[in-house]
């Protein structure tokens, strides 16, 4: 991920329109990820986890949970938040690279691929292929298709706000986003987009067999999620 994007995620920002939005966003993601944990002994990696407010829900379904983010400030906050949870360990990307082969049962890459170049994603997929057990699973989600616009993202947020009690704040937040650092970065770098066939090819090249899931992880039903298993 570019240094500009990392600096953005590691600083105070207004991606979440209020505390309610931030809470239900991470609660939904944790609840959905937990359904992919195969057993109470599973070792799970959430790579690019962000604030991960409700990671304890994922940890409760697993044997251990590694939370990885490239932003050092976020990692420090995560370490404080989950200091009392023996199942959760906060790690850096460099720590992940040092893990032994075949260590992980589930790897989650949620809402990260769009901020990476195609080469960066390919390198990560190769790493995950090495780290996953033979029967392990990669969950890669929030993939942005080529035909999904910023307007579609806005509609998805408004629906999410309507259903979860922050619709008015979402309207105000969208107006604020237009002049925000996020929008300037998105305009400058764009988002990396993949068709279903393109992401399947990417996973195939890294040694995975992929299948699209019935729905995306998170609130945006226009984006895609896939499970991928090592070949």
Which pLDDT score, from 0 to 100, does residue 193 have?
96
Burial grade of 167 (CB within 10 A; 0-12, 13-18, 19 or more):
middle
Note the residue count of the chain: 231
Cβ neighbors of 152 (< 8 A, separation 6 or more) are 222
Pairing of strands 104-110, 43-47: parallel
- With a cut of 80, say whether residue 179 has pLDDT above it: no
Domains of the chain: 3-230 (3.40.50.150)
Q: What is the average pLDDT across 70-89?
A: 96
Which pLDDT score, from 0 to 100, does residue 37 have?
98
pLDDT tens digits, 13-72: 878 999 999 999 999 999 999 999 999 999 999 999 999 999 999 999 999 999 999 999
Highest averaged pLDDT of the listed ranges 3-7, 52-56, 173-177: 52-56
Instruction: Give the model's confidence band at 198: pLDDT under 50 very low, under 70 low, under 90 confident, else very high.
Output: very high
Q: Please, what is the Cα angle at 24 between 86 and 90, to 5 degrees?
A: 25
pLDDT tens digits, 143-154: 999 999 888 999
Cβ neighbors of 172 (< 8 A, separation 6 or more) are 17
**DSSP per residue, 62-102:** SSEEEEE-S-HHHHHHHHHHTTT-TTEEEE-HHHHHTSPTT
What's the chain's average pLDDT?
95
Cβ neighbors of 164 (< 8 A, separation 6 or more) are 20, 21, 24
Which pLDDT score, from 0 to 100, does residue 12 have?
81
Instruction: Report the Cα–Cα distance between both ends of the chain, in Å, rounded.
Output: 27
């Amino acid at each position: 991920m570019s240094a500009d994007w990392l600096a953005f995620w590691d600083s105070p920002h207004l991606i979440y329109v209020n505390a309610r939005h931030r809470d239900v966003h991470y609660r939904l993601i944790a609840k959905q990820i937990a359904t992919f944990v195969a057993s109470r002994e599973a070792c799970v990696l959430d790579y690019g986890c962000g604030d991960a407010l409700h990671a304890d829900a994922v940890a409760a379904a697993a044997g251990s949970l590694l939370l990885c983010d490239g932003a050092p400030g976020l990692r420090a906050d995560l370490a404080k938040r989950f200091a009392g949870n023996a199942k959760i360990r906060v790690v850096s990307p460099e720590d992940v690279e040092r893990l032994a082969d075949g260590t992980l049962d589930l790897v989650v890459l949620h809402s990260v691929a769009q901020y990476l170049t195609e080469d960066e994603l390919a390198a990560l997929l190769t790493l995950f292929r090495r780290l996953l057990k033979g029967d392990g699973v990669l969950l890669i989600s929030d993939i942005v298709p080529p035909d999904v616009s910023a307007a579609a993202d806005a509609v998805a947020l408004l629906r999410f706000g309507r259903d979860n009690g922050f619709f008015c704040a979402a309207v105000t937040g969208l107006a604020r986003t237009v002049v925000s650092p996020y929008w300037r970065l998105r305009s400058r770098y764009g988002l990396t987009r993949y068709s279903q066939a393109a992401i399947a090819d990417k996973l195939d090249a890294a040694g995975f067999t992929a299948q699209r899931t019935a729905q995306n992880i998170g609130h945006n039903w226009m984006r895609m999620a896939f499970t991928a298993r090592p070949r």
